Structure 1
C-alpha cells in the first residue's frame, strides 16, 4: 500500500497544483503586490464563455502553461527555448493584451463542437500604489472556440474542453502582424511554430526601432530640438524615454546593438532637409550602406529621422541619406 501511495503521489501533487490558482499570475491572490484589487481569475474550460475568460486570463498574465491548455492544437506543458519565452512576453499581441480588463463575454453562436464569442474589455493604467485605474475606451474582440479532446491527463472523466482556435500559420505569414486580430494572433504564437520565428523576429525588431525613434523624438523636444547625444551614449540618453534596456539590443540576438547615425549628433531637426530618407538608427558596423547587416530575410531594418521604419533590400539603399 505504501509503495502504491508513493507511486501515485506525483500525479496527486500535479492535480492539486493544477486545481489551485497560481499566485504568480497577475490578478490571482495578492502576490505580487501590484495585483491587489484585481479580481481572481478562475480557470475553467467547461463552456465557451468560461474558456474564453480563461484564455484572456492566461494571455493577460503571459502564463504559458495555461495558454497551452486554452489554445486548440497546443500541447500541454512548456516547450521551446528562451526565445519563445521572450516572444510570449514582449511580442505585439501580448503587449496589446497587457493591462486589459475583461468587462463582458457574450456567446454569439454555439453548437456542440464550435462557438463564437465577443470579448469586451478596456485598458487599465496603474496608480502609484500599483492598483488598477480604469482608462481608455471599450474594445471588442471576436474569438472562435472548438470543443476538442482534453489535452490534460487529469481528471480522466473530462473528455473534452473548449479551446480558442488560433489563426493558421499560413494566415499569419500572408499578412502583416498589425493587420491581424491580436488575440487570435497571440493564440497562434503560443503554438510556437518554428516557421513563424523569422517573421516574429523581424516584427519584434521593427517594434524596437519604432520605440527608439519615438524616444529620440521626445528627447530632442526636451533638448532644443537637437540630437544632443552620439552613438556611444544613445542608450543612456534615451533610456528615460523608452524605459527598457532590451530595446537597444536587436531582437533575437544576444548582444548586437542598434546604432545611432553619428552624422546627426549635435544636429538640429531643422537642419535635416529630408527626414523621411535620412537614417536615424540602423543595424551595421559603419556609417555607410556597405556595412549594414541583412539579418531579416535578406533585408536590413532602418529607422528614419521622421520615425518610420523600413525593411530594405540592397537595391533600395541608393535612396537613403546618411548625412543631413
Structure 2
C-alpha cells in the first residue's frame, strides 16, 4: 500500500526548439555559408592557378630542350608541313608527352586545335589553353619569315614565351586572365609566374578556320608585366 506522503512523479514534456530558434539557426548557417563559399571558391581557383603555373613551367622547359636540339632556334607558331599544319604544340610534344600539360585547369578546352588549324599534324594535343609570344615564334604562313635564335633574346628573364590566352579573329594572341584577374606566363630563362591583368570593355571573337568562333574577353596586362604592361597580348622582345 502506497504511503499517503509519497509524492506522485512529475511528468515533464519533451524539450524542443521553438520556430523562432530554428529560424535563427537557419539564418546563422546561411550567413556563414555566404561568408565561406567565396573563400572556398578562391581557394579552389588558387589551386588551379598553381597547377597552371606548373604546366607552364614544364612547357617552358620542354621548349628550351627543343631549342637546344635545333641549333638554338625557336619553333614556328605554325607552318604547312606537307599535308598538315604543324604548330609549336606539335613541335614540342615529344618533349612533353602529356597532353594535359597544354591545358589550364581553369579552362581546359580554351582552344580546339582542330578548329584553330583545320588539319593539325598527328600527335598534336587536341586542346590548348596557352598561346605564344609572336615575336619569338614566327608564323610560317608569312612569306619569307625565318625562325628566331636564342641569341636574339637579350633579356631572357623578362621575355615571355607562353601564357594564358586565346587567338582572336585578328590572330592576336590575347591574354586571358583566368585566375581572378591574374594570368600565368613562362619566360625564356625557364621560370614562370603570375601577372596581373585588367578586364577591358572590348569584346572580340575566337579565330577558327571556319570563321569567328566563341566570344572572348579582352584584358590589358598590368604593371607587373614589365615590358608588356598595357598590351592586350604579350608580343615583343624587351631590349
Structure 2 length-normalised TM: 0.50
Q: Secondary structure at the match of 1:270?
A: helix
Q: Distance in 2 between matches of 1:237 and 1:300?
A: 24
2:105 is aligned with 1:235: no
Does the 8 A contact of 2:75 with 2:88 survive in 1? Answer: no
TM-fit CA distance, 1:195: 5.2
Q: Counterpart of 1:303? A: 186
Q: Counterpart of 2:151? A: 270
Uncovered stretches (5+) of structure 2, i.e. residues with no partner: 1-38, 79-85, 111-128, 138-146, 197-221, 229-233
TM-fit CA distance, 1:210: 0.2
Q: Secondary structure at the match of 2:157?
A: coil
TM-fit CA distance, 1:267: 0.6
Q: Which is helix-richer, 1 or 2?
A: 1
TM-fit CA distance, 1:292: 1.3
Give the alignment of 1:116-265 within 5 angstroms.
196-230=43-77, 233-256=87-110, 257-265=129-137
Q: Counterpart of 1:56? A: none
Does the 8 A contact of 1:288 with 1:322 survive in 2? Answer: no
TM-fit CA distance, 1:230: 1.2
Q: What value does the CA root-mean-square deviation take over the aligned residues?
A: 2.5
Q: Deviations over 1:82-139 (max 9, x none)?
A: xxxxxxxxxxxxxxxxxxxxxxxxxxxxxxxxxxxxxxxxxxxxxxxxxxxxxxxxxx
Q: Deviations over 1:273-315 (max 9, x none)?
A: 11111110012235879x3111112111111111111211122
Q: Counterpart of 2:165? A: 284
Q: Deviations over 1:34-67 (max 9, x none)?
A: xxxxxxxxxxxxxxxxxxxxxxxxxxxxxxxxxx
Q: Secondary structure at the match of 1:218?
A: helix
Residues matched between the structures, number: 133
Give the alignment of 1:66-145 within 5 angstroms.
none
Uncovered stretches (5+) of structure 1, i.e. residues with no partner: 1-172, 174-192
